[in-house]
Amino acid sequence: MTAPKSWSISLTVVFLILGLLLSLQFRTQRLLASSLEAQKTEDLVAMWKNLNEKRTRLQSEIAQLQQQLFTLQTGSDQDSEAKVSLDKDLARLQVITGTTPVKGPGVTVTITGDAPLLYEDLVDIVNELWASGAEAIAINDHRVNAFTAIADKEEGSRIYITVNGEKLLYPIVIKAIGDPHTLEKGLTFTGGLIENLNTMFNIYPDIKKEQNLSLPAASLPRWQHAKPLPASSTAAQQSQAK
Protein backbone atom coordinates (compact mmCIF):
# COMPACT_ATOMS: atom_id res chain seq x y z
CA MET A 1 0.00 0.00 0.00
CA THR A 2 2.99 2.32 0.54
CA ALA A 3 4.14 2.22 -3.07
CA PRO A 4 0.85 3.46 -4.62
CA LYS A 5 0.69 6.34 -2.12
CA SER A 6 4.28 7.43 -2.90
CA TRP A 7 3.54 7.18 -6.64
CA SER A 8 0.45 9.32 -6.21
CA ILE A 9 2.44 12.00 -4.38
CA SER A 10 5.18 11.94 -7.01
CA LEU A 11 2.71 12.19 -9.88
CA THR A 12 0.89 15.06 -8.18
CA VAL A 13 4.17 17.00 -7.92
CA VAL A 14 4.89 16.30 -11.60
CA PHE A 15 1.42 17.60 -12.56
CA LEU A 16 2.05 20.82 -10.66
CA ILE A 17 5.41 21.30 -12.38
CA LEU A 18 3.96 20.60 -15.84
CA GLY A 19 1.11 23.00 -15.17
CA LEU A 20 3.59 25.67 -14.18
CA LEU A 21 5.61 25.03 -17.34
CA LEU A 22 2.51 25.37 -19.52
CA SER A 23 1.58 28.60 -17.80
CA LEU A 24 5.08 30.00 -18.23
CA GLN A 25 5.11 28.90 -21.85
CA PHE A 26 1.84 30.71 -22.53
CA ARG A 27 3.18 33.89 -20.94
CA THR A 28 6.41 33.53 -22.94
CA GLN A 29 4.42 33.20 -26.14
CA ARG A 30 2.55 36.41 -25.38
CA LEU A 31 5.79 38.26 -24.56
CA LEU A 32 7.41 36.98 -27.72
CA ALA A 33 4.40 38.04 -29.76
CA SER A 34 4.60 41.58 -28.43
CA SER A 35 8.38 41.96 -28.49
CA LEU A 36 9.18 40.29 -31.80
CA GLU A 37 6.90 42.27 -34.06
CA ALA A 38 9.96 43.49 -35.93
CA GLN A 39 11.13 39.94 -36.71
CA LYS A 40 10.66 38.36 -40.09
CA THR A 41 7.49 36.41 -40.69
CA GLU A 42 9.41 33.23 -41.48
CA ASP A 43 11.33 33.42 -38.18
CA LEU A 44 8.19 34.07 -36.19
CA VAL A 45 6.40 31.13 -37.83
CA ALA A 46 9.33 28.84 -36.99
CA MET A 47 9.39 30.01 -33.37
CA TRP A 48 5.64 29.54 -32.94
CA LYS A 49 5.84 26.11 -34.52
CA ASN A 50 8.61 25.10 -32.13
CA LEU A 51 6.67 26.39 -29.11
CA ASN A 52 3.49 24.66 -30.20
CA GLU A 53 5.35 21.39 -30.63
CA LYS A 54 6.72 21.71 -27.08
CA ARG A 55 3.25 22.51 -25.79
CA THR A 56 1.85 19.43 -27.53
CA ARG A 57 4.55 17.24 -26.02
CA LEU A 58 3.84 18.60 -22.53
CA GLN A 59 0.11 18.01 -22.94
CA SER A 60 0.83 14.46 -24.12
CA GLU A 61 3.03 13.85 -21.07
CA ILE A 62 0.26 15.15 -18.79
CA ALA A 63 -2.26 12.80 -20.41
CA GLN A 64 0.09 9.84 -19.99
CA LEU A 65 0.76 10.70 -16.35
CA GLN A 66 -2.96 11.10 -15.69
CA GLN A 67 -3.52 7.63 -17.12
CA GLN A 68 -0.73 6.24 -14.92
CA LEU A 69 -2.22 7.91 -11.87
CA PHE A 70 -5.65 6.49 -12.66
CA THR A 71 -4.15 3.02 -13.10
CA LEU A 72 -2.29 3.27 -9.80
CA GLN A 73 -5.34 4.57 -7.97
CA THR A 74 -7.50 1.80 -9.42
CA GLY A 75 -4.90 -0.79 -8.49
CA SER A 76 -4.63 0.71 -5.02
CA ASP A 77 -8.42 0.50 -4.58
CA GLN A 78 -8.41 -3.10 -5.79
CA ASP A 79 -5.56 -3.96 -3.42
CA SER A 80 -7.48 -2.33 -0.60
CA GLU A 81 -10.66 -4.26 -1.43
CA ALA A 82 -8.67 -7.50 -1.70
CA LYS A 83 -7.03 -6.82 1.65
CA VAL A 84 -10.41 -6.18 3.30
CA SER A 85 -11.75 -9.42 1.80
CA LEU A 86 -8.69 -11.36 2.96
CA ASP A 87 -8.97 -9.86 6.45
CA LYS A 88 -12.60 -10.97 6.64
CA ASP A 89 -11.73 -14.48 5.49
CA LEU A 90 -8.88 -14.65 7.98
CA ALA A 91 -11.10 -13.48 10.84
CA ARG A 92 -13.75 -16.06 9.87
CA LEU A 93 -11.16 -18.85 9.76
CA GLN A 94 -9.73 -17.78 13.11
CA VAL A 95 -13.19 -18.07 14.64
CA ILE A 96 -13.76 -21.49 13.07
CA THR A 97 -10.38 -22.85 14.15
CA GLY A 98 -10.64 -21.23 17.57
CA THR A 99 -7.27 -19.49 17.34
CA THR A 100 -8.62 -16.14 18.48
CA PRO A 101 -10.86 -15.09 21.41
CA VAL A 102 -14.39 -14.13 20.39
CA LYS A 103 -17.45 -12.53 21.92
CA GLY A 104 -21.07 -12.11 20.99
CA PRO A 105 -24.63 -13.24 21.72
CA GLY A 106 -25.58 -16.86 22.16
CA VAL A 107 -26.66 -19.34 24.82
CA THR A 108 -25.23 -21.03 27.88
CA VAL A 109 -26.05 -24.64 28.77
CA THR A 110 -25.35 -25.39 32.44
CA ILE A 111 -25.30 -28.93 33.85
CA THR A 112 -24.97 -29.48 37.60
CA GLY A 113 -23.16 -32.29 39.36
CA ASP A 114 -26.27 -34.27 40.28
CA ALA A 115 -26.86 -35.12 36.60
CA PRO A 116 -25.68 -38.58 35.44
CA LEU A 117 -23.94 -37.01 32.45
CA LEU A 118 -21.71 -39.11 30.22
CA TYR A 119 -19.15 -37.72 27.81
CA GLU A 120 -21.30 -38.98 24.92
CA ASP A 121 -24.11 -36.72 26.14
CA LEU A 122 -21.73 -33.76 26.16
CA VAL A 123 -20.62 -34.59 22.62
CA ASP A 124 -24.28 -34.76 21.54
CA ILE A 125 -24.99 -31.31 23.01
CA VAL A 126 -21.96 -29.79 21.29
CA ASN A 127 -22.87 -31.36 17.95
CA GLU A 128 -26.48 -30.18 18.27
CA LEU A 129 -25.22 -26.64 18.87
CA TRP A 130 -23.00 -26.84 15.78
CA ALA A 131 -25.94 -28.15 13.76
CA SER A 132 -28.08 -25.26 15.03
CA GLY A 133 -25.67 -22.66 13.71
CA ALA A 134 -23.22 -22.05 16.54
CA GLU A 135 -20.17 -20.10 15.36
CA ALA A 136 -17.98 -20.83 18.39
CA ILE A 137 -18.30 -23.11 21.42
CA ALA A 138 -16.44 -23.48 24.72
CA ILE A 139 -16.85 -26.00 27.56
CA ASN A 140 -15.78 -24.58 30.93
CA ASP A 141 -13.60 -22.16 28.97
CA HIS A 142 -12.05 -24.93 26.87
CA ARG A 143 -12.54 -23.68 23.31
CA VAL A 144 -13.88 -26.43 21.07
CA ASN A 145 -12.22 -26.88 17.68
CA ALA A 146 -11.15 -29.69 15.34
CA PHE A 147 -8.47 -30.86 17.79
CA THR A 148 -10.72 -30.99 20.87
CA ALA A 149 -10.98 -34.42 22.50
CA ILE A 150 -13.96 -35.10 24.78
CA ALA A 151 -13.65 -38.37 26.70
CA ASP A 152 -13.88 -39.86 30.19
CA LYS A 153 -11.36 -40.87 32.80
CA GLU A 154 -11.75 -43.31 35.64
CA GLU A 155 -10.44 -42.43 39.10
CA GLY A 156 -11.21 -45.11 41.64
CA SER A 157 -14.94 -45.64 41.69
CA ARG A 158 -15.69 -42.40 39.87
CA ILE A 159 -15.63 -41.53 36.21
CA TYR A 160 -14.90 -37.98 35.15
CA ILE A 161 -15.49 -36.28 31.84
CA THR A 162 -12.36 -34.77 30.33
CA VAL A 163 -11.67 -32.19 27.64
CA ASN A 164 -8.26 -32.50 26.04
CA GLY A 165 -7.23 -34.73 28.94
CA GLU A 166 -8.24 -32.22 31.62
CA LYS A 167 -10.93 -33.18 34.13
CA LEU A 168 -14.14 -31.15 33.96
CA LEU A 169 -15.45 -29.84 37.26
CA TYR A 170 -19.14 -29.20 37.85
CA PRO A 171 -21.07 -27.21 37.02
CA ILE A 172 -20.28 -27.83 33.38
CA VAL A 173 -21.05 -24.68 31.41
CA ILE A 174 -21.22 -24.83 27.63
CA LYS A 175 -21.10 -21.45 25.92
CA ALA A 176 -22.14 -21.15 22.29
CA ILE A 177 -22.04 -17.96 20.21
CA GLY A 178 -24.69 -17.57 17.54
CA ASP A 179 -28.30 -16.49 17.22
CA PRO A 180 -29.70 -17.08 20.75
CA HIS A 181 -33.23 -17.93 19.61
CA THR A 182 -32.07 -20.39 16.94
CA LEU A 183 -29.60 -22.11 19.25
CA GLU A 184 -32.21 -22.49 21.99
CA LYS A 185 -34.79 -23.90 19.60
CA GLY A 186 -32.23 -26.28 18.16
CA LEU A 187 -31.81 -27.82 21.61
CA THR A 188 -35.36 -27.68 22.95
CA PHE A 189 -37.67 -28.60 20.08
CA THR A 190 -40.17 -31.36 20.80
CA GLY A 191 -38.57 -34.78 20.53
CA GLY A 192 -35.11 -33.22 20.41
CA LEU A 193 -31.94 -33.82 22.36
CA ILE A 194 -32.82 -31.99 25.58
CA GLU A 195 -36.21 -33.63 25.83
CA ASN A 196 -34.57 -37.04 25.45
CA LEU A 197 -32.04 -36.19 28.15
CA ASN A 198 -34.89 -35.11 30.43
CA THR A 199 -37.14 -38.11 29.96
CA MET A 200 -34.60 -40.89 29.48
CA PHE A 201 -31.70 -39.95 31.75
CA ASN A 202 -33.04 -37.35 34.21
CA ILE A 203 -30.57 -34.78 32.93
CA TYR A 204 -31.99 -31.26 32.99
CA PRO A 205 -29.59 -28.73 31.46
CA ASP A 206 -30.35 -25.08 32.22
CA ILE A 207 -30.42 -23.15 28.94
CA LYS A 208 -30.20 -19.36 28.94
CA LYS A 209 -30.06 -16.83 26.15
CA GLU A 210 -27.15 -14.42 26.48
CA GLN A 211 -26.32 -11.16 24.76
CA ASN A 212 -22.64 -10.91 25.60
CA LEU A 213 -20.57 -14.08 25.85
CA SER A 214 -16.79 -14.19 25.82
CA LEU A 215 -14.93 -17.29 24.66
CA PRO A 216 -11.15 -17.76 24.96
CA ALA A 217 -8.86 -18.92 22.19
CA ALA A 218 -8.15 -22.62 21.93
CA SER A 219 -4.89 -24.05 23.19
CA LEU A 220 -2.58 -24.96 20.35
CA PRO A 221 -2.15 -28.72 19.85
CA ARG A 222 1.15 -30.19 21.01
CA TRP A 223 2.58 -32.49 18.38
CA GLN A 224 4.60 -35.37 19.82
CA HIS A 225 5.95 -36.92 16.64
CA ALA A 226 5.25 -34.54 13.77
CA LYS A 227 7.84 -31.85 13.00
CA PRO A 228 7.78 -29.19 10.28
CA LEU A 229 10.15 -29.68 7.34
CA PRO A 230 12.84 -27.06 6.65
CA ALA A 231 11.87 -24.58 3.97
CA SER A 232 14.47 -26.00 1.56
CA SER A 233 13.03 -29.53 1.87
CA THR A 234 9.50 -28.25 1.34
CA ALA A 235 10.55 -26.40 -1.82
CA ALA A 236 12.33 -29.52 -3.12
CA GLN A 237 9.24 -31.67 -2.55
CA GLN A 238 7.03 -29.15 -4.35
CA SER A 239 9.47 -29.10 -7.27
CA GLN A 240 9.44 -32.90 -7.50
CA ALA A 241 5.64 -32.94 -7.38
CA LYS A 242 5.55 -30.70 -10.44
Residue 153: predicted pLDDT: 85
Residue 98: predicted pLDDT: 73
Q: If we measure between CA atoms, which residue out of 50, 53, 51, 65 comes closest to residue 19?
A: 65
Residue 208: predicted pLDDT: 95
Q: What percent of the chain has pLDDT over 90?
A: 25
- Residue 234: helix, strand or coil by DSSP? helix
pLDDT digits (tens, 9 = 90+) for 50-61: 656 766 776 676
Measured between alpha carbons, how far is 182 from 130 in angstroms, rounded to an integer?
11
Does residue 1 or residue 232 have the better pLDDT?
Answer: 232
**Could you give phi then psi for residue 173, rounded to 5 degrees?**
-115, 115
Sign of the torsion formed by the C-alpha atoms of 96, 98, 99 and 102? positive
pLDDT digits (tens, 9 = 90+) for 109-136: 999 988 888 889 999 999 999 999 999 9
Q: Which of 19-23, 57-61, 83-87, 147-151 has the highest mean pLDDT?
A: 147-151
Beta bridge partners of 160: 153
Give helix 2-35 / helix 41-97 axis angle, nearest 10°.
Answer: 170
pTM of the model: 0.58
Q: Is the pLDDT of residue 95 over 60?
A: yes
Residue 209: predicted pLDDT: 95
Q: Is the pLDDT of residue 69 over 80?
A: no
User: What is the average pLDDT value for the chain, to the nearest integer?
Assistant: 75
Whether residue 219 contacts residue 146, with contact meaning beta carbons closer than 8 Å, is answered with: no
106 — pLDDT class (breaks 50, 70, 90) = very high
92 — pLDDT class (breaks 50, 70, 90) = low
Q: Is the pLDDT of residue 213 over 80?
A: yes
Residue 72: predicted pLDDT: 67
The DSSP symbol for 225 reads S
Residue 47: predicted pLDDT: 60
Order the strands of the 206-215 sheet from edge to edge.
142-143, 136-139, 172-177, 102-111, 206-215
Q: Where are the beta strands (DSSP E) in the chain?
A: 102-111, 136-139, 142-143, 150-155, 158-163, 166-167, 172-177, 206-215
The DSSP symbol for 165 reads T
Residue 190: predicted pLDDT: 87
**Could you give phi then psi for residue 3, rounded to 5 degrees?**
-60, -50
Residue 100: predicted pLDDT: 81
pLDDT digits (tens, 9 = 90+) for 151-201: 988 877 788 899 988 898 999 999 999 999 999 999 999 888 999 999 988
